[in-house]
Structure 1
Amino acid sequence: MGKSSKDKRDLYYRRAKEEGWRARSAFKLLQLNDQFQLFNGVKRVVDLCAAPGSWSQVLSRELKAPENPEDVKIVSVDLQPMTPIDGVTTIQADITHPKTLQKILEIFGGEPADFVCSDGAPDVTGLHDLDEYIQAQLILSALQLTTCILKEGGTFVAKIFRGRDIDLLYSQLSYLFEKVICAKPRSSRGTSLEAFVVCLGYKPRPGWNPQLELTKSTEEFFKMPILYLDLPDPEERLIAKFVACGDLNDVDSDATYTLDANFKKMALDPVQMPTAPPYKKALEMKRRGELVRR
């Protein structure tokens, strides 16, 4: 998390730096856990689309208790490189690739995961319909891996963009989980379409053996006759319960607050510098004299 932000007076942004979190998104997972007790009894966790690593930091600090550091295994996966975190195994890989699934299972000793989460999101274009579609596809990609590795009764949490067709996604998730809840942490800006879908009680469909295949799309992966047996009409929409998370007395993520004179003079350095910034290649070309005006 660098020195610039959408609003430098965002207290969650500043608090993240003060407490050593790589991004303000750490508070979103903390508030979700306060509401749903996501970490209770959890020993094996997969953090998908993990970079820069704030959610992995939360998982490490909350789960890696001094009395049982070896019992908990946390795996973080992202296409982007990520600076190591104590107690976390980092994999730079594609979450849709079968080899990624195999690596995670090897780390877990062949045991299933208790909890899978994803805070991933595309670079938004501002075209809401397109952004919502891409985000839904990212969730389905994360769900593919989740169905292959999550234990029965396990939990899945992912970022969503609430839009016109979000109830269709809720319906799809309800086929595989006992409860599907839409949660909005207080640290998530109210002006944003962002929310989080909390899926509790994974229920694998009898007779369905999900397997990742490079040649199979997400639509083909989930389009299994066995998946829809004894279920309502697939076109039926579901209205998920909406829950606001976080202390009402906490700061408002959409508000700006006046800092006293002492704080205004204190510039906080980034907790973690970018490992692969988009401008890195341009800087390297400039040093070699390859970036010139024509």
Structure 2
Amino acid sequence: MGKSSKDKRDLYYRKAKEEGYRARSAFKLLQLNDQFHFLDDPNLKRVVDLCAAPGSWSQVLSRKLFEGQKDVEGRKIVAVDLQKMSPIDHVTTIQADITHPKTLNRILELFGNEKADFVCSDGAPDVTGLHDLDEYIQQQLIMSALQLTCCVLKRNGTFIAKIFRGRDIDMLYSQLGYLFDKIVCAKPRSSRGTSMEAFIVCLSYNPPQDWEPKLDINQSTEQFFEKIPSLNGISELSIDDQSHTKAQLPSWSLEERSIAEFMSCGGLDSFDSDATYHIDADDSRQRESLDPVQSPTNPPYKEALELKRRGKLTRAI
């Protein structure tokens, strides 16, 4: 969230800076919670934030679970990402791959071998602008997060993940419906209407009684879920000749697809992320240029600065 960002005219971008959040995406989780109240549960103790960098969702989790709370004993937040994250109060960060069994073991170790109450993922690939391709890659990321979630989430727990709505999103709804009692597609007001992103809210984790999910670095997503007959082939997605995402699920028919309930979160009194708001001329704070909340942990120019400091960066003649 630097000063040169193209989003600097976005009201949520500015509000995130004013309230100390590292990214405007913090308001997406806050508005989801306003609708579903999953962070207001007094019994919520163990939380996992996947694909967490730069950490705005972890900041929300920390404030909800610890700030102003009287009974915080046993509460633990674990944030996982391949990128390095700057420290956040009450959050244990792990720089690791969410598909690796060692990551799962590390999380369970931090939780004292207890299962998590809540798992969330705001991760997304760098979009290409090719919606079918972006949807495909995002769905693979969701399935990777789901693998870890199945191993770490307790029964009746909640899972939330960013999705890209597209032509075959109903297949994802149906797949998740085999593991959760209720699936809702939610669109926060802080998420731009021009964006195809939304959030899948999976309530009441209810896997088959005789299924014991286990992560194996040498197995694919399909192999992970193949012990559940109804989920056989969960990850078999490909791009057809017309560049449309097509499901290759031989054990499923088109009738098995489902439509999830769609819900807008944030209320009409919330700010519209696609709207432009006038600055109050009498409010000097609105006209003040705000510094970034958190400096980049690994900026692309870091290596160049180090080479220049050692005199090894010279201009070609």
TM bucket normalised to smaller: over 0.9
Alpha-carbon distance in structure 1 between the residues aligned to 2:228 and 2:14? 50
Q: Which residue of 2 aligns with 1:62?
A: 64
Q: Secondary structure at the match of 2:199?
A: strand
| Cα distance change on mapping 1:292 and 1:138 into 2, 3 Å | farther
| Cα distance change on mapping 1:154 and 1:270 into 2, 3 Å | same
Q: Secondary structure at the match of 1:157?
A: strand
Structure 1 residue ranges, 4+ long, deviating more than 4 angstroms after superposition: 225-229, 285-288, 290-294
Of 134, 140, 144, which residue of structure 1 is paired with 2:137?
134
Q: Which residue of 2 aligns with 1:20?
A: 20
Q: Secondary structure at the match of 2:59?
A: helix
5+ unaligned residues in a row in structure 2: which ranges? 233-250
Alpha-carbon distance in structure 2 between the residues aligned to 1:128 and 1:54? 26
TM-score (structure 1 length as normaliser)? 0.94
| Cα distance change on mapping 1:49 and 1:228 into 2, 3 Å | closer
**Could you say what the CA RMSD is over the residues aligned between the two structures, in angstroms?**
1.8
TM-fit CA distance, 1:247 = 2.2
Q: Which residue of 1 aligns with 2:236?
A: none
Tell me, yes or no, if the aligned pair for 2:175 and 2:231 is still in contact at 8 Å.
no
Of 47, 53, 58, which residue of structure 1 is paired with 2:55?
53
TM-fit CA distance, 1:73 = 0.6
Alpha-carbon distance in structure 2 between the residues aligned to 1:228 and 1:121? 23
Show the 5 A alignment for 1:80-229: 80-228=83-231
Q: Which residue of 2 aligns with 1:76?
A: 79
Q: Secondary structure at the match of 2:175?
A: helix
Alpha-carbon distance in structure 1 between the residues aligned to 2:202 and 2:11? 29
TM-fit CA distance, 1:258 = 1.8
TM-fit CA distance, 1:161 = 0.5
- Report how many aligned residue pairs link the two structures: 291
| Cα distance change on mapping 1:111 and 1:268 into 2, 3 Å | same
Alpha-carbon distance in structure 1 between the residues aligned to 2:308 and 2:208? 55
Q: Which residue of 1 aligns with 2:252?
A: 234
TM-fit CA distance, 1:168 = 0.9
| Cα distance change on mapping 1:284 and 1:242 into 2, 3 Å | same
| Cα distance change on mapping 1:31 and 1:291 into 2, 3 Å | farther
- The letter of the residue matching 1:277 is P
Tell me, yes or no, if the aligned pair for 1:282 and 1:291 is still in contact at 8 Å.
no
Tell me, yes or no, if the aligned pair for 2:304 and 2:313 is still in contact at 8 Å.
no
Tell me, yes or no, if the aligned pair for 2:225 and 2:231 is still in contact at 8 Å.
no
TM-fit CA distance, 1:284 = 3.5
Alpha-carbon distance in structure 2 between the residues aligned to 1:95 and 1:228? 21
**% identity of equivalent residues:** 69
Q: Which residue of 2 aligns with 1:252?
A: 272
> Which moved further from structure 2: 54-63 or 6-15?
6-15
- The letter of the residue matching 2:264 is A
Alpha-carbon distance in structure 2 between the residues aligned to 1:220 and 1:283? 45
Show the 5 A alignment for 1:258-277: 258-261=278-281, 262-263=284-285, 265-277=287-299
TM-fit CA distance, 1:227 = 4.9
